[in-house]
Amino acid sequence: MPLTINGTDHDFIGDPRTTLLDYLRDECGLTGTKKGCDHGQCGACTVLVNGQRINSCLTLAVMHEDDQVTTIEGLGTASNLHPLQAAFVRHDGYQCGYCTPGQICSAKAMIDEAANGWPSFVTADLFEPVKLTTDEIRERMSGNLCRCGAYSNIVDAVTEILETKR
């Protein structure tokens, strides 16, 4: 079954019970995507499927025929970081680092969602263009848990990227 991961063609032939998360980590060696709960409760496994963020533990690999999957490894590398990755380093938007790839994938998709006018729980006016205030960022990043408590710095990192874009 064909699918594309970080621009590379893959052919999934495994156990149909295999989650997309376990396929990425164990078969593809893309361990940047983390398993924190396996139940869609923590967001550590967030990846982009056709540009949208998804908890990869809550979906089976076999459900992604012909999909384009982007993981943290597809955003940037240690020697050539994506601007969001670099901002997380500058702002110390992580500590143990385990939730971090999920946070960054989530932030990437969140910025695109807002640009496309998607409202959130804290959006006051559903008809105006969405402005990613700090409260909007906090709400939209609340599916990504961080036990180290780096939230304040994560918001700063994302805010810096948004301000650079403006």
Partner 1 sequence: MTRSYIMDEPDERNRLDAMAQGVIGRPLDRPEGPLKTSGTATYAAEYRMNGRIEGVLVTATIAKGEVTVLDESSVRDFPGVIAVISDDRMTARAAQGGAGKSPVRKVREVRYYGQPIALVVAETFEQARHAAKALRIEYREDAAALVDAQDDAIAFEQFEEPIIQGDLDKALNEAAHTVDVTYTTEGHNSAAMEPHASIADWDGKILTLHSSLQMLRFNRKELADALGIDPEQVRLVSPYVGGGFGSKLGISPEGVAAAVAAIRLKRPVRVVMLRQQVFQCVMRRSETRQRVRLAADAQGRLNGFGHEAWVTNLPGEEFAEPVLQASEFLYAGENRVLDLQLGRIHRVTAGSVRAPGEAVGMQVLEAAMDELAEAIGIDPVELRLRNIPEKHPSEGTPYSSRKLEECLRRGAERFGWDASPRKPCLRREDEWWVGTGMATATRVHNLNEAYARVTLRSDGTAEVASDMTDIGTGTYAILGQIAGEMLGLDPAVVTVRLGDTRFPPGSGSGGSWGACSTGSAVLEACEGVRAALAAKLGCEEAALKLKDGHAFSGADKVALSDLLGGVDVVQLGHFKPGKITEAFSAAMYGAFFAEVGVNAYSGEVRLRRFTGAFSLGRVLNAKTATSQCMGGMVWGIGSALTEGLTFDPRDGHIVNPDFAEYHIPVNLDVPHLDVLLVEERDPAGSPLQAKGVGELGICGAAGAIANAVYNASGVRVRSFPITPDKVLVGLPEI
Enumerate residues 6+ apart whose C-beta is below 8 A from 73.
6, 30, 32
Nearer to partner 1, 119 or 151 (CB): 151
Min dist CB 132 to partner 1, Å, is 13
**What is the number of other CB atoms lying within 10 angstroms of the CB of residue 15?**
11
Cβ atoms of residues 98 and 34 within 8 Å: yes
Distance CA(52)–CA(118), nearest Å, equals 12
Nearer to partner 1, 59 or 153 (CB): 153
Choose, by CB under 8 A, the member of 1, 58, 81, 162 that binds partner 1: 81
Of residues 83-142, which lie at the interface with partner 1 (CB under 8 A)? 85-86, 88-90, 92, 94-101, 104, 122, 134-135, 137-139, 141-142
- Which of 109, 100, 102, 119 lies closest to 45 in space, CA to CA? 102
Integer Rg of the chain from CA = 16
72 binds partner 1 (CB under 8 A): yes
The residues that touch partner 1, with contacts defined as CB under 8 A, are 15, 17-18, 22, 25-26, 29-39, 41-42, 44, 71-73, 75-79, 81, 85-86, 88-90, 92, 94-101, 104, 122, 134-135, 137-139, 141-155
